[in-house]
Amino acid sequence: MKAFAQLFADLDETNKTNEKVRILKDYFVAVSDQDKIHTLALFTGRKPKRQINSTLVRTWAMEMAGIPGWLFEESYHVVGDLGETIALLLPGNTSSQDKSLAEWIEEINHLGNLDEEERRTWLRASWASMDQQERFVFNKVLTGSFRVGVSQNLIIKALADLSGLDTATLTHRIMGNWDPLTFSYPQLMQEQDASDDFSRPYPFYLAYAIQETSDQVKSAAQIGETLGDPADWQAEWKWDGIRAQAIRRGESFIWTRGEELATEKFPELHDFLADLPDGTVLDGEAICYSEGHPLPFNVLQTRIGRKNLSKKILAESPMVFIAYDCLEYQGEDTRGLPLTSRRKILEDLQLATRHPEAFMISPVVNFSGWEELYALRMQSREYHAEGFMLKKRSSVYQVGRKRGDWWKWKVDPLSVDAVMVYAQKGHGRRADLYTDYTFAVWDGDKLVPFAKAYSGLTDKEIGQVDHFIKRNTIEKFGPVRTVKPELVFEIGFEGINQSTRHKSGVALRFPRILRWRQDKKMEEADTIESLKAML
Amino acid sequence: MRKPLLEFNDNGIYCPPGKFYIDPWKPVDDAVITHAHSDHARWGSKQYLAHHLSREVLYYRLGEISLRTIGYGETVVKNGVKISLHPAGHIIGSAQVRIEYKGEVWVVSGDYKLENDGVCEPFEPVKCHSFISECTFGMPVYHWKPQQEIHNNINQWWRQNAAEGKATVIVGYSLGKAQRILQHLDLSIGGVFTHGTIDNTHEALRRNGVQLNAATRITPDTPKEAFRNAIIIAPPSSAGTPWMRRFMPYDFGYCSGWMALRGAKRRRAADRGFVLSDHADWEGLITAIAATECETVYLTHGYTATFARYLSENGYDAHEAHTLYGDDEGGEAQAEALAAESENAALAEGDSL
Ligand SMILES: [Zn+2]
Ligand SMILES: [Zn+2]
C-alpha cells in the first residue's frame, strides 16, 4: 500500500490536471493488476464493506495514542477528518511492511471472521506498521469514508493512455455492478460483450446549457445563430425529475445518473420494465406524476429520502418514467444511430407497452422557428417543465457532458449544484439561526467556495440546516463556521463573470438558493470547470 | 494569599513590585521584550529592554525607541526585581524572561521551540515556580519531524522545479522562517531572491552582526529570466498577489506548522506545504513545561483552553491567560479566520456585482 499512499500524497501536491494524469499513469504502470483494479474500484466509489464500526476505531485509536476521549474529540474538531486525525495522533511506527493494496483489502474483508479482541489486535498491529500517510489512506479505506481527489475522468484518461482504448469504451466498462474481487484488470481491458454484466448501464449523455453567458440571456436570434436551421432540431420539455436508465436484460435494473442502482426505489416502474423485450435500455426521467401532469420536485425528493416506501407515500407521490431515448434494442447498442432512428424505436416500444400509465414518452414540441420556441419556453412552468432540451436530429448518443448536439435551455437560466462549506447567522428575526451560507464546487478533490446566498429555503428547511450546522461545525472563525461539507443545494444566478479577486476565479450575479438537493451526495455537486464553462 | 508576581492586565503582563511590563500590547513606561515579532514588540512605550540580537530589528520595526539590550544570562534589577533573559530558540534574539523577587521565580516564555534550528541560540529550560507558556500548537495532532528532513524536502523540490525550468516560490514569515529557509538552502541549485520586506529584515540582522547567506532583493528591474531556476523567499502577505506573476511559471510552497493539516494547506491553495514551525509541538510543550519544574502554568496563544485542561488533568495548576499575542504563526489561526471571512465578504460583494 506504500505505492497507493504515495499516489495520494503526489495527487495532493499538484493542482494541475495534466500532472495528475501523469501521476496516475506512473502509478498504474508500477503496481500489479490486482492493485490496479482495486484502485479503480476505490476511485469509482466501490468501497469495501465496513468491517469495524467507527466507534471502535476511535476507541482503539485513543487507547493507542494514550489520550483521553475529550482530547481525541477536540483533535477531531480541529482536523475535521477522522482518518487524518487518527493518523496524526498515533505514535510513530515501530515496524513496517510491504503489503500491497490488494493484500490489505483482503485482510479487511476477512475481519468478518474475527472476534472483537482479534480485530483490535489486528488493527493496532496494522497501525504500528505504517507511516502517517499510509495510515491516513488505510483509515479511509477501513472506515469506508474513502473519497478521491480526482475526478473519474482523469483516471479514465490515464487508463486510456496506457491501454490504447478510447475513453468512451472505458467509461462504459467501469459502469455497473462489478466487484474488484471477481473482476480483473485484464478482463477490463479485453473486448467484452453485453453478457458480461447484465446490469451495466451506459454512460449518460449530458448537455450543457445554451444560454449561459456572463451578461445576458440569449435572444431567439442569438440562439438561431448558434444552432442554425430549426428543422435540424428536436425540442422536448426538460423535466424536473431524476435522470435514470431503465434496463431490461432478463432482469430489470434502474440506474440513476449518480450511478446508483435504485431499482427498488421505483416499484411502479417494475411492471412495464418486465414487459419490455429483452435487451432494451431506455434513458429518461423518473418523476412523480398525477392527474395528467408531473408533480413538483419536492414531492419526489420527499419520497427519495424515505427508507421505506409506505402505502401513503406511494399514493401521494406516484412515479412514472418519461422516456426520451433508447440506447439498446434487441440486445444491440443503438447509441451510434441518429436520434431520429432511436426516437422511432422508442415510439414503437411505447406504443406496444401494456403499461402506458407508467411508461410515457417525452413529447416532441413542434415549432417552426426560434422565435416561436422562445415564446413557448416562457410558458415552461405551465407545462410543469424547466425549459427545453434541444437535440440535433442527426445526433448520436455520446458519452458524458459534450457540447454541440444537445443543449438544455432552461427558464431559470443558470444553476449549479454546490456544497455548503461555511455558515453565518442571519439578522433580525433569524439572528440566532444560521441562514447565510457559502457554497463550493469541486476543483479536483478540493471544494472551492464561489458564492454566498441566503434566500430560498422554507423556514422548516432553515431549521433543519441550522441543526445540521450546529452539529457539524469544524471550525469557528468569529461569526463564521466552517461546516462539514455534506449538504448539496442548487444555486441559481443571473450571471457569471471572471474574477481575479475570488479564489474560484468567478463571481456570480444575484446568487440564490433554488432548493436543497437532499437526493444528492456531495460527490455529485458540480465542478469549477462546469462553472467556468458558463463564462 | 500573596499577590502573584506577574499579572495580566489591560496593557499586558505586569510585574507590580518591579513596575514594568513584559511584551505589553499598549504603550507603557517600561517594557521588557521577549522577541521582535510584532505581537510581542509593540510601538509607543517609553523604554524597552531586550536581547542584543533584537536591537536592529526593533529599531527597524519600531523606529526611534529608547532601547537597552543585554545578553543571555545577564541580570538587570528594577525596583528590587531581578530580570534576566534566556534563549527561547524561537527566532534570532528571542528570549524567555526570568523574574525573581523575594525567592519567587517566574518565567515568561514568549514564543519558543525546542529543536535547534541552527540559526538562533537553542532553547534552554529555566527552573521556576510559575511559567507563562505559549501553546500555539497545543494539540496532540501537531508533531514535528526533524527539520533536516523538511529542509531536504525543500531542496529536493527546488531542484526538481529548477530542472523543469520553473521558479520556486517559498513563503514563510519574514522574521524567523525566512532566515531558517535561507540558511538551509542548497546554494548549488540556483539563485536565491528575496521579497523587499524580507530583505529589509535581513539587512537589519546583518547590521546586528548576524551572518546570513547572500540573497538578491527583487526590484521592478530584476529580469524575469533570472527567476527560472531560482528560489524566491516571500512573506505570507505576498501569496496570491499580482506581485507573484513575474515568476511564471512557478511552483508555490508554504512553510508553516499549520501545514500539518491537509485542510489548512488546501485553504492556502499551495502546491506544496512544508511543516516547519518556530513553535514547539505538543510533545515539545509538555517537555518544556516539565523541565521548568513549575507548579503553576499560564497559557497564551492558540489552544489555551484545551491545553490548560490537559495540564490540569496531569497535576499542574494550569490557567488560560487572555492576551493579545498571536500575530506571527500563532496569528495565522486568526489570519485563517479572517481569510475565511474575507472570502465570505468578497463573495457577498460578488452578489451585487
Ligand atoms: Zn513569535
Ligand atoms: Zn507570539
A vs B: CB pairs below 8 A: 96
* Dihedral (Cα; B111, B116, B121, B123), 10-degree rounding: 50
Per-residue burial over B108-137, b = 16 or more CB atoms within 10 Å of its CB, e = otherwise: bbbbbbbbebebbbebebbebbbbbbbbbb
Order of all β-strands in the sheet with B20-22: B7-8, B13-15, B20-22, B30-32, B47-51, B67-70
User: Are the C-beta atoms of residues A400 and A206 closer than 8 Å to each other?
Assistant: yes
Say yes or no to pLDDT of B177 above 60. Answer: yes
pLDDT tens string A123-165: 999 999 999 999 999 999 998 777 666 777 788 889 988 888 8
Distance from CA of A400 to the nearest CA of B (A): 28
Q: Which of A13, A89, A502 sits opposite B141 (nearest CB)?
A: A89
Most A-contacting residue of B244, B347, B349 (CB-CB within 10 A), to test interface: B347
Specify the pLDDT at position A196: 60
Q: Is A424 within a domain? A: yes
Joined grid coordinates for residue A327: 440506447
Specify the pLDDT at position B333: 40
Chain A residue with CA closest to B267: the answer is A448
B82 DSSP β-pair partners: B77, B100
The secondary element (H helix, E strand) that includes residue B60 is: helix B55-62
Between CA A236 and CA A215 the distance in angstroms is: 26
Return the CATH number at A8.
Answer: 1.10.3260.10
Specify the pLDDT at position B198: 95
**Amino acid in position A480:** V
Q: Does one domain contain both A239 and A282?
A: yes
Specify the pLDDT at position B276: 96
Work out the average pLDDT over A518-533: 84
CA-only gyration radius of chain A, Å? 25
The pTM score is 0.73
Say yes or no to pLDDT of A412 above 70. Answer: no
User: Are the C-beta atoms of residues A53 and A39 closer than 8 Å to each other?
Assistant: no
Taking Cα atoms as reference points, which of A230, A203, A268 lies closest to residue A390?
A230
Mean pLDDT of chain B: 89
Provide the phi-psi class of A442: left if phi over 0, else alpha when psi is between -120 and 50, else beta: beta
SS3 A363: coil
Distance from CA of A338 to the nearest CA of B (A): 43
Specify the pLDDT at position B314: 95
For B323, which DSSP code? -
Q: Is A155 within a domain? A: no
Q: Does one domain contain both A457 and A393?
A: no
- Cα-to-centroid distance, B40 and ligand 1 (Å): 7
Distance from CA of A211 to the nearest CA of B (A): 20
Q: Does one domain contain both A383 and A439?
A: no
A501 touches chain B (CB under 8 A): yes
Q: Which of A86-90, A429-433, A515-519 has the highest mean pLDDT?
A: A86-90
Work out the average pLDDT over B183-202: 96
CB contact under 8 A, B271 and A15: yes
| Domain end call among A104, A123, A142 | A142
Say yes or no to pLDDT of A295 above 70. Answer: yes
pLDDT exceeding 70 applies to what percent of chain B? 90
Q: Which of B141, B271, B343 sits opposite A503 (nearest CB)?
A: B343
Give how many domains chain A has, as a whole number: 3
For B239, which DSSP code? T
Distance from CA of B267 to the nearest CA of A (A): 9
Specify the pLDDT at position B2: 67
Q: Is A197 within a domain? A: no
Q: Is A347 within a domain? A: yes
Centroid of chain to Cα B317: 27
SS3 A329: strand
Q: Which residues contact A367 (CB under 8 A, 6 or more apart)?
A: A230, A235, A373, A376
Q: Does one domain contain both A348 and A421?
A: no
Q: Is A176 within a domain? A: no
Specify the pLDDT at position A307: 74
Specify the pLDDT at position B322: 82
Most B-contacting residue of A23, A72, A75 (CB-CB within 10 A), to test interface: A75
Centroid of chain to Cα A516: 15
| Domain end call among A104, A122, A142 | A142
A193 DSSP β-pair partners: none
A442 DSSP β-pair partners: A447, A527
pLDDT exceeding 90 applies to what percent of chain B? 79
Any idea what the Cα angle at residue B10 is, between residues B7 and B16, rounded to 5°? Answer: 35
User: Are the C-beta atoms of residues A68 and B313 closer than 8 Å to each other?
Assistant: yes
- Cα-to-centroid distance, A118 and ligand 1 (Å): 48
Chain A residue with CA closest to B260: the answer is A88
CB contacts under 8 A, B 127-146 vs A, are 139-143
Higher pLDDT, A406 or A506: A406
A209 DSSP β-pair partners: A408
Q: Which residues contact A156 (CB under 8 A, 6 or more apart)?
A: A167, A170, A171, A174
Return the CATH number at A306.
Answer: 3.30.470.30
Q: Is A88 within a domain? A: yes
SS3 A172: helix
Chain B residue with CA closest to A136: the answer is B262
Q: Does one domain contain both A321 and A432?
A: no
The secondary element (H helix, E strand) that includes residue B159 is: helix B147-163
**Domain around A513:** 414-532
Q: Does one domain contain both A393 and A283?
A: yes
Specify the pLDDT at position A147: 67
Size of chain B, expressed as the number of residues it contains:
353
Joined grid coordinates for residue A19: 500532472
Return the CATH number at A459.
Answer: 2.40.50.140
Question: Which residues of A fall within a CB distance of 8 Å from B310?
Answer: 71
Q: Which of A12, A65, A424 sits opposite B140 (nearest CB)?
A: A65
Q: Which residues contact B57 (CB under 8 A, 6 or more apart)?
A: B36, B92, B93, B175, B201, B204, B205, B208
Burial of A110 (0-12, 13-18, 19+ CB in 10 A): exposed
Q: Is A153 within a domain? A: no
Q: Does one domain contain both A322 and A425?
A: no
Q: Is A159 within a domain? A: no
Say yes or no to pLDDT of B211 above 80. Answer: yes
Q: Does one domain contain both A430 and A373?
A: no
pLDDT tens string A168-223: 778 888 877 788 888 888 888 876 654 567 888 899 999 988 865 444 567 788 88
Work out the average pLDDT over A58-62: 96
Most B-contacting residue of A16, A480, A491 (CB-CB within 10 A), to test interface: A480
Work out the average pLDDT over B38-65: 94
Between CA B76 and CA B93 the distance in angstroms is: 17
Q: Hey, which CATH number is domain B147-276+337-352, 2.60.40, 3.40.50, 3.30.1490, 1.10.3470?
A: 3.40.50
pLDDT tens string A341-394: 999 999 999 999 999 999 999 999 999 899 999 888 888 878 888 889 999 999
User: Are the C-beta atoms of residues B76 and B216 closer than 8 Å to each other?
Assistant: no
Specify the pLDDT at position A180: 86
Confidence label for B332 from pLDDT (cuts 50, 70 and 90):
very low
Specify the pLDDT at position A217: 63
Each as own residue / partner, the long-range contacts of residues A166-169 (CB below 8 Å, 24 or more positions apart, any chain) are: A167/A399, A168/A203, A168/A398, A168/A399
Specify the pLDDT at position A149: 65
Topology of domain B7-141+278-322, CATH: Metallo-beta-lactamase; Chain A (3.60.15)
Q: Does one domain contain both A316 and A235?
A: yes
Taking Cα atoms as reference points, which of B302, B334, B324, B237 lies closest to residue B42?
B324
Say yes or no to pLDDT of A317 above 70. Answer: yes
Specify the pLDDT at position A148: 66
CB contact under 8 A, A502 and B140: no
Q: CA of B71: how far to CAs of A417, B41, B86, B94, B201, in Å?
A: 62, 18, 8, 11, 21
Q: Does one domain contain both A395 and A439?
A: no
Say yes or no to pLDDT of B345 above 60. Answer: no
CB contact under 8 A, B271 and A79: no
Helix extents (H) in A132-219: 132-142, 152-163, 167-173, 185-189
Say yes or no to pLDDT of A292 above 50. Answer: yes
Between CA A388 and CA A271 the distance in angstroms is: 29
Q: Does one domain contain both A102 and A30?
A: yes
Distance from CA of A124 to the nearest CA of B (A): 18
For residue B278, which ligand has an atom nearest its CA?
A: 1
Between CA A456 and CA B303 the distance in angstroms is: 38
Specify the pLDDT at position A191: 65
User: Are the C-beta atoms of residues A12 and A19 closer than 8 Å to each other?
Assistant: no
Between CA A338 and CA B150 the distance in angstroms is: 59
Mean pLDDT of chain A: 87
Work out the average pLDDT over B257-281: 85
Q: Does one domain contain both A333 and A253?
A: yes
